[in-house]
Amino acid sequence: MQHCLCCHDKLLKHVVHAQVYWYCPTCRERMPQHSSKIETLLETLVQAEETAAAPKKEG
């Protein structure tokens, strides 16, 4: 899954005139393709943010 380089929101894949590009609905901008290394880093950051934001269970 692709994430925005600016806001880390999920990107939408668009096809216009036989050209494929990624679009961020939050930033309302087209985003460039980025390498799998950057994508892996972004996935790790998003998961860390989600984990930190999740309520902690008391036990």
pLDDT of residue 38: 63
Length of the chain: 59
| Residues 4-54 pLDDT 10s | 888 888 989 888 888 888 899 999 998 877 655 666 676 777 788 888 887
pLDDT of residue 36: 59
Give the H or E element holding residue 20: strand 19-24
Distance of alpha carbon 6 from the chain centroid:
9
**C-beta separation of 6 from 24 below 8 A:** yes
pLDDT of residue 28: 93
Determine the 3-state secondary structure of 13 from DSSP: strand
pLDDT of residue 25: 93
Structure-block tokens of residue 55 = 């309520």
